[in-house]
Chain A
Amino acid sequence: MSALEIPNLRKAFGGLEVIANLNLTVPDGERHAVIGPNGAGKTTLFNLITGWQPPTSGEIRIHGVPVRQGRPDLVTRGGLSRSFQKNMLLESITVLENLRIACQAFHPSRHSLLRSRTEFADVIRKARRAAEQMHLDTCLDRNVNELSYGQKRQLEVAVALCAEPKILLMDEPAAGTSPDERANLVKLINDLSPDLTIVLVEHDMDVVFAICDVITVLSYGKLLVTGTKDEIQSNPQVIEAYLGQHHA
């Protein structure tokens, strides 16, 4: 069974069609990039997959289960987690507390009213592990608003990983980072479990080629082509629409 199946997906805002009859299948364990120029519908696609926006028509299935629209929490509980293009962190609390709250979502204690949040050592251990995984273990007690931009991007991914997803959607994880931070982030993502299915939206083609095996190119909501790195790099339509001669 595929990790993600999207048959005939369409999304329109009034008369503007943002996603036009998109068909996409992502097998388990694949590292799949979705690229395209601004306005191609990449982030809308992520919002549809995660239940933030309802499709105009078509369906999205995660491991065969249709996505319930309007309930992003259930999508996460179904094994699909995402990081956001613009940082969506709990800014005025600590890194550890961000991760602890994220880990707690899957712990029976999450509804507990009368016990201290620090009592649940297993939740804190899991949060620390997520921090270590993304090399944030040295700044656990720092407030998120004290972190560098690159660290915030790492925390975005770490928070998404706390859900122990089977599928991870990353929306431009390297956007706005310095070359060093970008290289570090690519290494951290490549070190994640090979069983994890990754769907990545990214403008930086070096990041895409360093992480992903399969690439889908969108243009104005339409699927231009899906193929391997080599196929994409040599596709004349893609070169003309998006890559330019530099990556050919």
Chain B
Amino acid sequence: MSAESLGRKESEFQPLKLSTSPDSRRVSAALFVLTGAVICALPSFASGYAMTLAIEVMIAGVFASGINLLIGYAGLVSLGQAMFLGLGGYGIAIGTALLGWPLWVSAPITLVVVAMIAAAIGAICTRTRGVEFLLITLAFSQMFCGAAIKLRWTNGSDGMSGIPRPDLSRLGLSADSPAVFYYYILTVSALALLLLWRIVNSPFGSVLIGIRENERRVMSMGYAVANYKLGAFALSAAFCAVAGILQAQYTYFVNPDSMSWQVSGEGVLMVIIGGANVILGPFIGAAVFVIVKQALSLITDEYNLFFGIFFMLVVAFFRGGILGTLRTLIGKWR
């Protein structure tokens, strides 16, 4: 699905400049350092509830960032990425809780297996575009969700529990402590974000942007476009699986609901709210999504209705997402 089919003109995507002005770099760096300092210091002044929300935001942010690699950079809108979130959770559950392998063995194996499954699925899905791609990813997701409900050795719809958090005893720490777990999630999220930033600014990433802009032209330039789309699909799946592992560790639990199309849809909403094609957009989208939803649920039981209205307002007045709109406004102000 192209940028246009997301309801935006291609021109609303921000330019990919090879250089930025020193002023804008200084402002960005200052904002980045300030935000980073607040996030790092959060456990020292925030309540347990606020830390819980922050953990949920970071996990959702990693998930949405994986989706954004497809939507924002390769121009492919998937409604099936929750299948990889779920597979990540199930992978770590099978490795650690069922087979008793340590995390440092289970996690890499899970990621490699998920990427391989994604490559196999992607070989079929990436032959399509637009609505066909959206529907075929949705179909695969529902298929995996159905399989997880039926499989007895993963406890069917009851899911798998007893997933351990990382063993940090060698550092004299326990990941069951909210603050320690917060820093663990923060570290993994920051590394995932850094890796994603590296990928989208790499030659590979620039080809993905080219594909989003004009697939035919990129093919005419001499690129085997199908391979790049497949690579993006597998990488996106791996990021979603990282979020799945973190989610399973956070709740000590995984069940087929994590693979549902609603979860995929929420990930897409986070990307649109925060801003596709902006590296921090999905994290901002995740923060807004989690916090607004929590706040509305405190006020009314019908929070989904009001969240729908909120989402419509964001789409109507923040075309390009929150970060995309901010960037446009700052550009005009200059």
Chain B, range 9-61, C-beta contacts under 8 Å to A = 10-19
Q: In the complex, what distance in Å separates the CA atom of A111 from the CA atom of B202? A: 9
Chain A nearest Cβ from B300, distance in angstroms: 40
Given A73-B219, A93-B15, A159-B217, are A101 and B202 also a contact pair (CB < 8 Å)? no
Of A74-82, A181-189, A190-198, A216-224, the one touching chain B? A74-82
Question: Considering only CB atoms, which chain A residue lies closest to B198 in the complex?
Answer: A114
* A50, A89, A120: the one within 8 Å of B203 (CB): A120
Cβ-defined contact, B206 with A104, below 8 A: yes
B222 x A77 contact (CB < 8 A): yes
Per the bound structure, the CA–CA distance linking A76 and B216 in Å amounts to 12
What residues on A are CB-neighbors of B221 within 8 Å?
Answer: 73, 76, 101-102, 105, 159, 162-163
CB distance from A114 to the nearest CB of B (A): 6
Q: How far is the CB of A222 from chain B (nearest CB, A)?
A: 28
Please count how many residues in chain A sit with their CB below 8 Å of the partner chain's CB atoms: 44
A145 CB contacts on chain B under 8 angstroms: 10-11
A111 & B15 in contact (Cβ 8 Å cutoff): no
How many residue-residue contacts, CB under 8 A, span A and B?
A: 121
Q: How far is the CA of A143 from the CA of B13 in the complex (A)?
A: 11
The size class of the interface chain B forms with chain A is 20 to 34
A77 to B223 CA separation, bound complex (whole angstroms): 9
A246 in contact (CB, < 8 A): no
Chain A residues in 8 Å Cβ range of B214: 88-91
A57 to B226, CA, bound (A): 27
> Is A113 located at the chain interface by the 8 A CB criterion?
yes
Chain A residues within 8 Å of B18, by CB:
94, 96-97, 100, 118, 124, 141
Contact A90 to B222, CB < 8 A, known contacts A97-B206, A111-B204: no
Do B217 and A89 have beta carbons less than 8 Å apart? yes
Q: Are A91 and B204 in contact (CB under 8 A)?
A: no
Minimal beta-carbon separation of B122 from chain A (angstroms): 16
**Contact across chains for B198 and A73 when beta carbons are under 8 A apart:** no
A 25-52 to B, binary, CB cutoff 8 A, 1 in contact else 0: 0000000000000000000000000100
B125 at interface by CB-CB < 8 Å: no
Known contacts A89-B214, A91-B214; is-contact A115 B15 (Cβ 8 Å): no
Are the C-beta atoms of B223 and A110 separated by less than 8 Å?
A: yes
Report the separation of the CA atoms of residues A241 and B179 in the bound assembly, to the nearest whole angstrom.
82
Q: Does A92 contact B (CB under 8 A)?
A: yes
Q: Is the CB of B204 within 8 A of A112?
A: yes
Taken together as a complex, chains A and B put the C-alpha atoms of A111 and B230 apart, in Å, by: 13
- A138 within 8 A of partner (CB): no
Question: Contact check: which of A84, A96, A113, A160 meets B202 at CB < 8 Å?
Answer: A113
Please report the C-alpha to C-alpha distance between residue A159 and residue B224 in the assembled complex, in whole angstroms.
17
